[in-house]
Amino acid sequence: MTIYTSDLDSPIGRLRLYGDRRALLAVLFDAEAAPAFVADEGPAIEDARAGVLPGAIRQLREYFDGTRREFDLPLAPRGTPFQQTVWRALRRIPYGRTLAYGELARRIGKPGAARAVGMANHHNPLSIVVPCHRVIGADGGLTGYGGGLDRKRWLLALEHGTAIPAPRRSMSR
């Protein structure tokens, strides 16, 4: 399989997208290492015009502009069956809403698995598109996010209509 990659400058920093002809495979923040599947499949080819990347780039830009609330992209994240279950549940959290890890665990039928849900969130390869930023602590506070809490805070503010343009370099991990 040929894997394509492209970078997208966004209000929260550079994003690196990975996809093939059929599906979006990963959306990562600039400091994150390439996903393991890239090494398995061979080097990714930089080409923003290939496969699903043009649509993904357009939809992410629309999201950051505030004109898109849901992503309509073919996705193929690689993970365990449990991770896949959590990632599907994340996509059902509505735009502008948040949900506690424990509640997400209950929704997937694993009420005692809040920590495991947190780990599945941590391994989500499709940042923003699979909205793990919408998951918060039981007390309503912000907890870990692979892109850093500043980015999580900004994404939630965007979805609540309170975000201000962020300097691209201000978002640290």
The mean predicted confidence, pLDDT, of the chain is 87
Which range in 105-114, 154-163, 164-173 is most confidently predicted, on average pLDDT?
105-114
pLDDT of residue 164: 65
Contact of 79 with 90, CB cutoff 8 Å: no
What integer is the mean pLDDT of 37-61?
Answer: 81
The strand pair at 4-10 and 99-100 is best described as unpaired
Q: What is the predicted pLDDT for the residue at 173?
A: 41
* Whole-number pLDDT of residue 171: 47
- The predicted model gives 119-142 an average pLDDT of 92
- What pTM did the predictor assign? 0.87
Question: What amino acid positions are annotated as catalytic residues?
Answer: 132
pLDDT in tens, 81-123: 999 999 999 999 999 999 999 999 999 999 999 999 999 999 9
Q: How confident is the model at residue 145 (pLDDT cuts 50, 70, 90)?
A: confident
Distance of CA 63 to the CA centre of its chain: 12
Encoded tokens for 114 = 């809040």
Return d(Cα 164, Cα 173) in angstroms, integer.
19
- Rounded Cα distance, 78 and 24, in Å: 11
